[in-house]
Structures are given as structure tokens and as C-alpha cells.
Amino acid sequence: MNNFIENQNWRYATKKFDATKKVSDADLAVLKEAIRLSTSSYGLQPYKVLIIENEEIRKQLQPVSWGQSQIVDASHLFVFANYTDIDDAHIDTYMENIAATRGLNVTDLQGYSDFMKSKIVPMPKDKKAIWTSKQTYLALANLMNAAAELKIDVTPMEGFEPEKYNEILGLNALGLNATLVATVGYRHEEDVNQFAKKVRKSEADLFEIVK
């Protein structure tokens, strides 16, 4: 746990990446697995994660990301995109995955499937989109924590135009919406932000113990 806290103190929102440094394939695989293993409501993982390496696409995305340099300078650009609607087919596919993974018959999961469908499918589409978008933040947290352990920098970003991302990346046709962006790579030695003290609320201000 001490290592975890040390890693959290080490990380910060990197403003300037070293464009000459790239995340290795081995480390990238760890980051992907950390995201894959993330918790989500019902375990449904109602999102996809696009890892953008293509330089031309990233140049197109930079202007609709408030012109931030991290978009093009970081080793990798992760785009978390939530499904805007969850229907019976999504849940059926999930049940098939559970059955295959745990050696069960899909019929054994009918009760759970019906329960999920009764809670999720009738939700208004706008509320479903909000719910699925929240799940991407859980996945982002796993990415950030795993990266900090590997001493890889991650900058989570909401400063972008989702509609433009959807258009450039063709997400609308897939029923997806860009929710979060994370730039992944290595801090530049000239990024003065790495030397600034971390500012957080005190323990007394942040926590309230209810007995």
C-alpha cells in the first residue's frame, strides 16, 4: 500500500510530453489488461476504448481538443467511448460471455439476464447514456493506477469536443460517444508542473466518519 501512495504522489496531470519517448508494447499490454479488468456496473463494461496511434488522425483531433499539445505529443491517445443505448442484444452477448467463461449454460443465467433487462432496457435513452458514460471513469482510474506503477504518465482530459471526436472517429455509426480522453506517455523534462506540490483537501476537510 505504501507503494501505491508513493505512486499517487508521483503522478500528476502532465502538460508537456516527451514526443521522442514511446510506451513499449509490453507496457501497453499491461495498461490494456488493467482497463479490461476494471470494475463496472453489473460487469457489463458498456464502452469501447480506442487507442489512437495514427499521427494524422491525432492531428485532426488536436484542434477539437482545445489545441492541447498532449494529443499529438504523447506516446498514445486513449479515447473512452460509451455505448449510448443498451438493449437486449448487449445483455444477451454479456450472458453468452459469462456462460462461456464459467462453463455454464446460458439458460442458467436467465434470471440474472431478465433482472438486468428489467432495470436497464426501459431506462430513457438519455439516462442510459449518462449511466454508461460514468462507467468509463472507472476504467480510466484503473489505467491511471496501473500506469503510475509503471512510471508512465497519464493525463485524463475532458477538454475536447465529443461531437467532433464522434465524427472524426466514426463513433456515431457504432452507437458510441466519446466520453473521456487520456494521453499516455512520458513527461518532458521541461514540464514545470511535475515539480509543483500536489494540492488536495486535508483529511479533516475531506472525510466525515458517521458512527
**For residues 134 and 40, is the Cβ–Cβ distance under 8 A?**
no
Q: Rounded to whole angstroms, how far apart are CA atoms 140 and 154?
A: 10
Nearest to 168 by CA among 158, 159, 178: 178
Q: Tell me, what DSSP letter sits at residue 53?
A: -
Q: How far is CA 210 from CA 69, 189, 192, 207, in A?
A: 44, 44, 40, 10
Which spans in the chain are helix H?
A: 2-10, 25-36, 55-61, 70-73, 88-102, 110-120, 125-149, 162-169, 203-206
Q: What is the mean pLDDT for each group of 10 consecutive residues in the chain (211 residues)?
A: 91 97 98 98 98 98 98 98 97 98 98 98 97 98 98 98 98 98 98 96 98 96
Q: Tell me, what DSSP letter sits at residue 17?
A: B
Q: Name the amino acid, one letter, at 124.
A: P
pTM of the model: 0.96
Residue 145, judged by CB atoms within 10 A of its CB (0-12, 13-18, 19+), counts as: middle
Residue 75, judged by CB atoms within 10 A of its CB (0-12, 13-18, 19+), counts as: buried
Q: How much is the pLDDT for 190? A: 97
Q: How far is CA 154 from CA 138, 194, 211, in A?
A: 15, 12, 37
Q: How much is the pLDDT for 2? A: 84
Q: How much is the pLDDT for 127? A: 97
Residue 146: how many other CB atoms lie within 10 Å: 21
Using DSSP's 3-state secondary structure scheme, residue 6 falls into helix
Q: How much is the pLDDT for 1? A: 57
Q: What is the dihedral of CA 139, 141, 145, 147, to 10 degrees?
A: 60
